[in-house]
Amino acid sequence: MCGRFSRFTGIDSIQDRYDLKTIIELESNYNTSPQDEAVVILRSDINHSQNMIWGFLPFWSKTRTISNKTINARSDSLEKKYFKHSFEQKRCIIPVNGFFEWNSRTKQPYYIHHADNELFSFAGLYDIWKSNMGEVVNSFTIITTKANETIKQIHDRMPVIIDKEYEEQWLDHTTSISKLNSILSTPTMQPLNLYSVSSFVNSPKNKGIKCIEPISEQNSLSNYF
């Protein structure tokens, strides 16, 4: 799964990286947690961004309640009813600098990131919910897949990372379902580092840079995948 991620690259750099015409300001967050707002990249006629709540609320829901169970969507369940509409019509990218995972046995948190801390892209889905009173909620979920050999050391699942060459196809409304599934099953070619961090990140109230600081060189892992 993916329960926390970081995004501290500035808005101007995100705009350049994804060729956005406009972007809405949003503060950096080293510990983005469920129900937080995050920058999401969408496609209409052009790529644009929108700040959305993390936790999926489908348009057909009768209540505004966003469950933490909907922060992730399994890549092998996207054609089922709950996510089907968004998989077909409302795909998105979530720009991140890294993400956190907890060892399922020891509960030790780890930070996973690019060697140069540059942005990379999670595959996501979004939806727009509207109440009878006119309230609008824009929300998203992060797609997950089976963990690769490195992540298996700490957890059995990980977010789907879309390499840059596939980003436009993922956002394109005309891309076939078979091609989308192919993108989801293509392992990332981007080298990432993995190291242990302190339990400071466990609290969603903590949003600063301390969340991604290594706790010691001895506990740091230098594996790549």
Residue 134 tokens read as 């006119």
Cβ 123 vs Cβ 164: under 8 Å:
no
Does an H or E element contain 93, and which? strand 91-96
Cβ 101 vs Cβ 151: under 8 Å:
yes
Residue 163 tokens read as 């390499």
Active site includes 2? yes
Burial class (CB in 10 A: 0-12, 13-18, 19+), 136: exposed
Strand ranges (E), 115-215: 120-130, 136-146, 157-159, 161-162, 192-196
Q: Which residue is listed with tokens 């690259």?
A: 9
Instruction: Provide the b/e sequence for 174-207 (b: ≥16 CB within 10 Å).
Output: ebeeeebeebbeeebebebbbbbbbeebbeeeeb
**DSSP label of 109:** E
- What's 182-203 look like in SS3? HHHCCCCCCCEEEEEECHHHHC
92, 101, 167, 211: the catalytic one is: 101
2, 92, 167, 211: the catalytic one is: 2
Q: Tell me which residues are annotated as active site.
A: 2, 101
